[in-house]
C-alpha cells in the first residue's frame, strides 16, 4: 500500500516551487468558484427570504375577484373595472361554504379607491372573518366587529404604514374623524395586516370599514378572500371555488381565483431561472479555468519528463505517476476552490444587503464550491496525468 499522504506532499512541493505559475493558473478557477459560490449564496438567501414571506403572507390564502374587463388609467394609479353582470352574492358565499371541502374559511369584501390629499386610499369593506383570514393584528384600539357590521356604523380601522402617516399628517388618534368620498368615519383602531401582501405600483393607504356601510353604496368590486384548510390543499380549494362559481353562472368563467402561494411559487421559479443562467456563465468560466490548469499541467509534465523516468526506474507504477499528477491538479483546484469560496462569500456578504436578501453561509454552498473544484481538478488533470503515465522511461531518462 502506498502512503497516500506522500502524493499530497509531493504535489504541494511542486506547486510551491512554481508558485507564480500555480497562482496564475488558479485565477480562472478562483473566478469560476467565486461566481458559483456568490450565486449559490445569494440564491439561498433569496429563497429563504421568499420562504419567510410565504409563511408571513399565509400560503393557504386565495383571492377571488371578477376578471377585469378593462383598466382605467388615472394619473397616479390604474383601476381594474369589472363587469357587474354577475356580481358575487351572499348565496355564492353560502354555496362555497357548504360545498367546497378544501376551503377552510371564506369572507366577502368590497374595495373602493379614494384619494386623501395626494395619497391613494383603498377602503376595504370587510366582514368579521377578515381578521382571521388576513391575520389582522390590533396595535391600538380595536378592530371592526359583528355589531359594527350589523349596525352599519361609520367607523374605521387604519392600516398603519408610511402612506397612512403621510396622508393623515402623523399618527392618527382613536376617536378622530376621517373622510373618504362623501362619508366620514370615526377611527376605532390602528392595525397591521400580515397576509395579503399586494404588489402595487405605488404605496397606498388601507382603511377597513364595515362591509355593510359600503354595500349601501352599491356592490362594485366585491370579492372573496378564502383560506384553504391546509397548504397542500390550496390548489384543490382554488379549483373548487372556481367550479362552484362557474356552475352558478351558466358555466361562464367570470371570476378568477388566485392563490398567493402560487404567485410566490412563480417568483421562486424566476429566481431559479436567473440562478441557472448566471450559474451557467459561472460554469463556463470554470471550464476556461480548467483549460488553464490543463495547460499548466501539460507544461509541468513536459518539464518533469526526466523525473518521471527516474521514478519509473526506481519502481513507480504507471498508476503512481498518473495519481501523482492528478492529485497535483486536484490540490491546485482545491486551493483555488477555497480562495473562491472565501471571495464568493465575501461578495455575497456585501451584495446581500444591496439585493435585500439575508446573507446565509450554507453548507450546501461550500459543498458545491468544493465539489466543483475537485471535479474541475480531475477534469483538467486527467489528460496530462495520463500522458505522463504513458511516457517511455528510457526516453524520459534520456530527456534533458
Partner 1 sequence: MLISISNGWKIYNKGPQEVTALREIDLKIKKGEYIAITGPSGSGKSTLLHILGCLDIPKKGEYRFDEKRVDGLSEREIAGIRNKRIGFVFQFFNLLPRINILQNVGVPLFYAGEKKDKREKWAYEALKKVDMEHRALHSPNELSGGEKQRAAIARAIVNDPDIILADEPTGNLDTKTGLNILNLFGYLNEEGRTVIIVSHDLRIAKRAKRVISLQDGMIEKQ
- Decide whether 36 or 308 has the Cβ nearer to partner 1: 308
For residue 32, what are the CA distances in angstroms to 11, 83, 338, 365? 22, 55, 12, 14
C-alpha cell at 163: 402612506
Number of H helices, E strands in the chain: 13, 12
The minimum distance between CB 367 and partner 1, in angstroms, equals: 31
- Decide whether 261 or 309 has the Cβ nearer to partner 1: 309
Which DSSP string corresponds to 227-283? Answer: EESSGGGHHHHHHHHHHHHHHTTTT---EEEEEHHHHHHHHHHHHHHHHHHHHHHHH
Pairing between β-strand 222-228 and β-strand 103-116 as defined by DSSP bridges: antiparallel
The minimum distance between CB 8 and partner 1, in angstroms, equals: 12
- Decide whether 104 or 393 has the Cβ nearer to partner 1: 393
C-alpha cell at 389: 503515465
Q: Could you tell me which of 385, 329, 340, 348 has the C-alpha nearest to residue 32?
A: 340
Residue 86: CB atoms within 10 A of its CB come to 15
Q: Are 396 and 304 in contact (CB under 8 A)?
A: no
- Decide whether 310 or 343 has the Cβ nearer to partner 1: 310
- Decide whether 9 or 76 has the Cβ nearer to partner 1: 9
Please state, in angstroms and rounded to a whole number, the distance separating the CA atoms of residues 37 and 106: 44
* HEC secondary structure over 6-28: HHHHHHHHHHHHCHHHHHHHHHH
Task: Report residue 379 CA to chain centroid gap.
Answer: 33
The minimum distance between CB 386 and partner 1, in angstroms, equals: 15
- Decide whether 99 or 319 has the Cβ nearer to partner 1: 319
Query: Backbone phi, then psi, for 110, in 5-degree steps?
Result: -125, 140
The minimum distance between CB 303 and partner 1, in angstroms, equals: 11
- Decide whether 122 or 308 has the Cβ nearer to partner 1: 308
Please state, in angstroms and rounded to a whole number, the distance separating the CA atoms of residues 167 and 120: 9
- Decide whether 194 or 392 has the Cβ nearer to partner 1: 392
C-alpha cell at 305: 519528463
The minimum distance between CB 12 and partner 1, in angstroms, equals: 10
Residue 210, judged by CB atoms within 10 A of its CB (0-12, 13-18, 19+), counts as: buried
C-alpha cell at 309: 523516468
The minimum distance between CB 392 and partner 1, in angstroms, equals: 9
The minimum distance between CB 385 and partner 1, in angstroms, equals: 17
Per CB under 8 A, residues contacting partner 1 are 1-3, 5-6, 10, 13-14, 17, 306-307, 310-318, 320, 393-394, 397
The minimum distance between CB 299 and partner 1, in angstroms, equals: 16
The minimum distance between CB 315 and partner 1, in angstroms, equals: 2
- Decide whether 18 or 77 has the Cβ nearer to partner 1: 18
Amino acid at each position: 500500500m502506498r502512503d497516500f499522504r506522500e502524493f499530497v506532499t509531493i504535489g504541494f512541493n511542486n506547486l510551491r516551487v512554481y508558485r507564480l505559475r500555480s497562482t496564475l493558473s488558479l485565477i480562472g478557477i478562483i473566478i469560476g468558484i467565486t461566481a458559483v459560490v456568490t450565486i449559490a449564496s445569494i440564491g439561498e438567501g433569496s429563497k429563504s427570504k421568499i420562504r419567510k414571506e410565504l409563511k408571513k403572507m399565509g400560503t393557504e390564502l386565495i383571492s377571488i375577484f371578477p376578471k377585469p374587463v378593462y383598466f382605467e388609467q388615472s394619473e397616479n394609479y390604474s383601476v381594474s373595472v369589472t363587469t357587474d353582470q354577475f356580481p358575487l352574492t351572499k348565496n355564492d358565499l353560502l354555496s362555497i361554504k357548504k360545498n367546497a371541502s378544501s376551503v377552510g374559511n371564506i369572507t366577502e369584501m368590497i374595495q373602493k379607491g379614494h384619494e386623501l390629499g395626494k395619497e391613494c386610499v383603498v377602503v376595504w369593506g370587510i366582514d368579521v372573518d377578515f381578521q382571521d383570514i388576513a391575520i389582522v393584528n390590533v396595535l391600538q384600539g380595536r378592530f371592526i366587529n359583528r355589531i359594527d357590521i350589523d349596525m352599519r356604523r361609520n367607523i374605521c380601522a387604519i392600516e398603519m404604514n408610511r402612506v397612512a402617516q403621510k396622508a393623515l399628517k402623523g399618527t392618527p388618534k382613536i376617536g378622530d374623524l376621517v373622510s373618504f368620498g362623501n362619508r366620514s368615519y370615526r377611527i376605532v383602531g390602528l392595525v397591521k395586516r400580515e397576509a395579503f401582501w399586494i404588489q402595487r405600483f405605488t404605496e397606498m393607504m388601507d382603511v377597513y370599514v364595515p362591509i355593510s356601510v359600503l354595500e349601501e353604496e352599491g356592490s362594485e368590486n366585491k370579492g372573496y378572500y378564502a383560506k384553504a384548510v391546509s397548504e397542500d390543499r390550496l390548489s384543490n380549494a382554488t379549483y373548487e371555488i372556481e367550479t362552484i362559481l362557474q356552475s352558478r353562472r351558466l358555466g361562464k368563467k367570470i371570476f378568477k381565483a388566485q392563490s398567493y402561494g402560487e404567485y410566490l411559487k412563480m417568483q421562486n421559479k424566476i429566481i431559479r431561472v436567473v440562478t441557472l443562467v448566471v450559474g451557467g456563465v459561472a460554469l463556463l468560466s470554470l471550464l476556461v479555468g480548467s483549460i488553464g490548469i490543463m495547460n499548466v499541467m501539460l507544461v509541468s509534465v513536459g518539464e518533469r519528463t526526466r523525473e518521471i523516468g527516474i521514478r519509473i526506474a526506481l519502481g513507480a507504477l504507471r498508476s503512481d505517476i498518473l495519481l501523482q499528477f492528478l492529485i497535483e491538479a486536484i490540490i491546485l483546484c482545491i486551493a483555488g476552490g477555497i480562495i473562491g469560496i472565501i471571495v464568493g462569500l465575501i461578495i455575497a456578504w456585501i451584495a446581500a444587503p444591496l439585493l435585500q436578501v439575508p446573507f446565509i453561509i450554507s453548507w450546501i454552498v461550500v459543498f458545491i464550491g468544493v465539489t466543483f473544484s475537485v471535479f474541475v481538478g480531475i477534469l483538467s488533470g486527467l489528460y496530462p496525468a495520463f500522458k505522463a503515465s504513458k511516457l517511455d522511461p528510457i526516453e524520459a531518462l534520456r530527456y534533458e
